[in-house]
Structures are given as structure tokens and as C-alpha cells.
Structure 1
Amino acid sequence: MTNAALRFAALLGSASAIVLASPALAAGVPAGTLIENTASATYSTGGPSQTIDSNTVTFQVAELLDVAVASQDAGALPVASSSVLTFSVTNSGNGTEPFVLTADPAIAGNDFDVTIDSLAIDTNGNGVYDAGIDTLLANGGTSANLDPDQSITVFVLFSSPSGITDGDTSQVRLLAEAETGTGTPGTTFAGAGDSGVDAVVGSTGADDDDLGSLIASVATVSLVKSAAIVDPFGGNQPVPGAIVTFTITATVAGTGSVSDLLVTDVIPASTSYATGTLELDSAALTDAADADIGEASAAGIAVDLGTVAAGTTHTVTFQVAID
């Protein structure tokens, strides 16, 4: 290898090392970054080696306009009188950019369309809508500037219509569009990027959207109570001394769930509660007001089932003796 080839290989090796040492950015080189390059040549005319430089070529990196939107809900949310859908919006471009945010509830195939009340930005970053804390934004409003790779959580606040049927489904689309502009990838907005560089539409078209899903959840609770009697003579007559086993069956039907479900019963007059007989789904509960969900006394029984999903049945039993 000639001396010139060796020098060139060394230069290439140095350049490669520099490239490998630079961390890769998900959004690419930041918009407005100045890129300069100067070539050089060495030569000899029989005397000492001489070096000359070319003119320097300089340009600034253009701003790439890209965005990503994704629903953050695990599945279809049960519809209540009002509710919240959650999305993330990420600036996947390489410049600072605000985004126009629009929620559309009129999606083809919906069984019902909700009413969009407002959007909100997750101000405290906890991922949960906090009324009075998170920043409200009109539907079609514009976010604050997002840095490259920065994500925000956007809440879509909506109200559901009356008259929907259990199991009906609906979707809401959240669209984010770069405020600078959208269009076919490669579309250029001259001088509209960071530091006055050109802004170029990226592969997303500078807009993106995702769907949040809803399901009409109408859960209902039914209670059925029965009594089985065993008298002192082995029969089933309600005579003094007979033991009565009461069974209360709580069934939650429909979809979604109910909350704060509390089953109570009063000990009938002329009977006495049989201590230690309270059970839930054949498992014993203590009579005392302690860590388990049951409580019983001479006055009555109470079992706090809490949140119960539709399609669930629970059975409470207890005994009394006829006085």
C-alpha cells in the first residue's frame, strides 16, 4: 500500500471512529444543526509535501415533521354518564413542534356516538385525569411545543348519549397534526422550521391518529333469598328449636361491573342468630367487624362484596334458630 493510501485509510478509520462514538437519536440530528465539511489534499512537486484545503461546504439540518399517536387504554372502556379516553402523542420529528389535537366521535360502524366535551393535557404526569389540575384544551386546540421525542398524555373527555343498549360499542379517533403543516412525505415548508430552516414532512405525513374503544355497560343486580328448615325431629316444620338456613344469591348481569355492593339482612323477629354460621360462597366469615368482608350479630348480617364484575354470582348463607 502506498503512503497516500495509508494516509487515506487512517483518515477513514478516524472518521468511522467518530461516527461510531456518536449516540443515535430516535428523532435524528436536531433541526438547525450546522453541518460543515472541508476537503484537503496533499501533494509533492519534488520538494516538501504540501497541503491544500477546499472551500468549506456548510448547511443546516432541516426540520422533519413526524408524530405518533397511541391509545393508552387496555381495551374497550365501559361507558358511564361521562368518561375519559387516554392517548399518548409523541413528537417523532427532530425539531420543536406544537400539534393540533382533534377528537372525532363519528366513526363508521359505531352503535352510538358520544359527545366530545373537551380535551385535557396530563399536567402532573400521573396518567390519570385530574379535574382542576390537568390543563383543558378545546377540541381542535393546539398543544404546547413538544421537543423531539417528547410525549404527552392527552385525555378525551366525553359524555355518552341516553338510550344506548347493553353491549353497544363505539370508537373515538384522536388525530394529531403538526402545526407547521401536513402532507405527502417530502412536502417542504420553506423557512418554517426551527432556526428558520426548511420544514419537511416525514414518513407519517406529519399527522397520526389512533382509536379509543368504548362499550355500553349496563350492569344490574338481582337478589334471590330462600330458606331451608330442619326441625328437632328431623323434619322441616318451623317449630320452636328449628334451625333455618337462609341463602341469599346475588347475581350481577349485563356488562361492566357494579361497585360498593353490600348485602345485608335483618335477623327476623322470634329468631336468634346462630353464632359463627355466616358464609360467603361456602367459605366461613367471622362475625366480628374485622379484616374479612363479613359481619354478623343478633341484629343482622352484612357482607361487603365491593366491586363485582358482570356475569358473577355470590352466595351468602347464615342460620337462625326459631325461639
Structure 2
Amino acid sequence: MVHSRWSWLFAGLLVAVFIAAPAAVRAAGTNAGTSIQGTAQATYTFGGPTLTATSNTVTVIVAEILDVVVTVSGTTPVSAGETRRGLVFTITNTGNGTETFDLGAMSAGIVGDDFDPTLVDIYFDTDASNDLSPPDTLYVAGSNDPALAPDTAVRVLVINDIPANVANTARGRSQLTARARTGTGTPGSLFATQGDGGVDALVGTSGAQGIVFGEYVAARMQVAAVKTQTIVDPAGGSRPVAGARIDYQIVVSVNGSGTAPDAIFSDTIPAYTTYVPGTLALNSTVLSDIADGDVGEFVSAPDSQVRIHLGDLTQASGPQTIRFAVTIN
């Protein structure tokens, strides 16, 4: 007599093959070029012994999805006639394959603004300072186009000059475009064998391009903050070791005409450090750490930070110097 468990064991094992050992998940899913294999087994009895039948292996190679997201970091205040001012953009490869992106910028004729900035160049924000500085690298189309792995990003600066005759509060726009070099188009468009490792590439929901504008706003008054630090280690040196103290100084200044009403200073306590109680000071006046009659406080939740209510600031207020200290855990 033959006792067979073929049908129900086969079905259960076939499903198990495809749900076991999931691959790493990325922004657009599994990485392009990943091989997904499935092999089924069926165990059954035939006249006593247990036997196993193994199917052929089926294989599918994951195609590449071409997707990108471009974002801009807020509005940049400028003064009339300023030169080489930057807007900060971040380009993120949200596809599942390594992709090179071609960049372009424009500042003239963008609908919805009050003036046209004069486009100068695009730079990579090499030192992550959010402004144009000597370490930053000039972008040269066709030479150093960014090649981004899945889920990685690059920060760029679109540099413009500001016209001399712009009115106070006028806004000027500058636009950055990032396009996947493999191709762009409507979602689902196919570029056969053009993906990573020769797999097919398909356009994702972004159309494989990101187009975003940033804004300058002309202001007769600008607020600036400059932060410096001094380190003293337990041995009296200046090494950043556990137990060392970091004294921070931040100078807030106002330039131009006008008032910055009810200005509030805040600074988050860095990770891996602890605030030193009683070190918060404004213009050499020590402030308490609790919310009371003076203008300062240390807040422990949800994020540890120091905060000072500076009030209405004008250029006549002069520089406001804030100090506090932390220790390295």
C-alpha cells in the first residue's frame, strides 16, 4: 500500500522557500541585480521509507528602479547687491541601483518670484558648511557628475549674485534639476539592459528626475551667529577625551536696519556629551538653568538644549554673546 503526503507537503514547502531569508530592504526595495532563487522540495513516503523530490531552481534578477528626490534647505536671507550667495540643495538617490545624476540650474524666468538672481555656478558642499567656502568643489557637467549608491545623498550649492536694486522682502528663486543619466520619463518607462550589471531599468514614481526651487529673500536686516569652542581635558591639555570639558561661545549679531522681534536663541546639547550645570551665560551674566525670572534655561526633554530669550534685536543692540559648557561622556 502506498502512503503519499505529496500534495500538502509540496504546497507548504513551496511557500516557505520564497518567504525565508528576506533580502535587505532599500528605499526602492531590494538592490538591483539581486538574484532571487526558489527551489521546492516534496517529502513523501512510499512503502515505508521517506523520500524527497527536489524541483528545478527558478531565478529572477531584480531590475533597477530609477528614482531621485531633491530638497532645499529653507529660505536664504540676502542683501541687495550681495555676490556669490548659495542655496543649499540635497540630492538623494531613492532608487535601488547606483546611478549618476546630471545637474542643471536656472534662475531666470521662474514664475512666482519678485526678481531674478544671476546664476553663477553649482558647487558641491564638500565641507558640509551650508555655504560657499574654499574646500567646496565646483561642479563641472560631464566631469564630476555625482554617482550615488542607493539611499545615499549629496549636498550642493547653487550660487547666485543678487541684483543691487531689489526691494526689501522681495523674493528671488533659483532652481536645481537632477536627472538620472540612464534615462527619465513617465513612471514605468523601460530602459532595457541599461541598469546595474546589465539588468533592465525602469523609471520610478519621480520620473527619475527632481526639480526644486529655492528662494532668496531680500532683507535690510540680517541676523548672524558664529560658534567657537575650547577644549580642556582632565590632564590640562586640549584633547577631546572622555571627561574633557568643551566651552562653547556663540556670538549673535544684527546688521542692517529693522528689528528682529522676540528673538530666541537655542542650541542642542551634542550627542555623547552632558551639559555642565550653571555654565549658561549671556554677555557675562550667569543665567539659571530653570525657567524662572531670567531669560535663560536648560531644557532636558524632548531634546537637551540651552535656550535664551534675547528679546527684540536691532543693530544697536550690539553682539549678544552666549556661553555654556558640556563634558564628553
- TM-score, L = length of structure 2: 0.61
Question: Are residues 1:179 and 2:181 paired?
Answer: yes
Judge conservation of contact 2:221–2:255 (CA < 8 Å) in 1. Answer: no
2:122 to 119, 123, 127: 119
Judge conservation of contact 2:5–2:43 (CA < 8 Å) in 1. Answer: no
Judge conservation of contact 2:171–2:218 (CA < 8 Å) in 1. Answer: yes
Distance 1:32 1:17 in 2: 19
Moved more, 87-96 or 8-17: 8-17
Judge conservation of contact 1:115–1:159 (CA < 8 Å) in 2. Answer: yes
Give identity over the alignment, percent: 38
Query: Cα 1:166–1:23, aligned 2, differ >3 Å: closer, same or farther?
Result: same
Judge conservation of contact 1:40–1:51 (CA < 8 Å) in 2. Answer: yes
Q: How does 1:74-223 map to 2 (within 5 A)?
A: 75-79=75-79, 81-82=82-83, 83-106=85-108, 107-124=110-127, 126-138=128-140, 143-219=145-221
Match of 1:267?
A: none
Which of the two has higher C-alpha Rg?
A: 1
Distance 1:110 1:209 in 2: 16
Question: Are residues 1:63 and 2:81 paired?
Answer: no
Displacement, 1:43? 4.3
Query: Cα 1:140–1:253, aligned 2, differ >3 Å: closer, same or farther?
Result: farther
Judge conservation of contact 1:86–1:155 (CA < 8 Å) in 2. Answer: yes
Distance 1:68 1:315 in 2: 42
Query: Cα 1:208–1:115, aligned 2, differ >3 Å: closer, same or farther?
Result: same
The one-letter amino acid of 2:21's match is I
Distance 2:26 2:155 in 1: 22
Query: Cα 1:79–1:40, aligned 2, differ >3 Å: closer, same or farther?
Result: farther
CA RMSD of aligned residues (A): 3.6
2:257 to 241, 250, 253: 253
Displacement, 1:39? 2.7
Q: 1:98-134 CA distances to partner (integer Å, 9 max, x unpaired)?
A: 111111213112211111110011223x233343321
Distance 2:125 2:66 in 1: 23
Judge conservation of contact 1:34–1:59 (CA < 8 Å) in 2. Answer: yes
The one-letter amino acid of 1:24's match is V
Match of 2:295?
A: none
Q: How does 1:234-249 map to 2 (within 5 A)?
A: none
Judge conservation of contact 2:187–2:205 (CA < 8 Å) in 1. Answer: yes
Give the 3-state SS of the residue equivalent to 2:86 in structure 1.
Answer: strand
The one-letter amino acid of 1:111's match is D
Q: Structure 2 stretches of 5 or more lacking a match?
A: 223-253, 261-282, 286-309, 319-329
Give the 3-state SS of the residue equivalent to 2:55 in structure 1.
Answer: strand
Query: Cα 1:185–1:140, aligned 2, differ >3 Å: closer, same or farther?
Result: same
Query: Cα 1:43–1:219, aligned 2, differ >3 Å: closer, same or farther?
Result: closer
Displacement, 1:209? 2.1
Q: Structure 1 stretches of 5 or more lacking a match?
A: 221-249, 257-289, 293-307, 317-323
Judge conservation of contact 1:69–1:176 (CA < 8 Å) in 2. Answer: yes
Judge conservation of contact 2:37–2:57 (CA < 8 Å) in 1. Answer: yes
The one-letter amino acid of 1:206's match is A
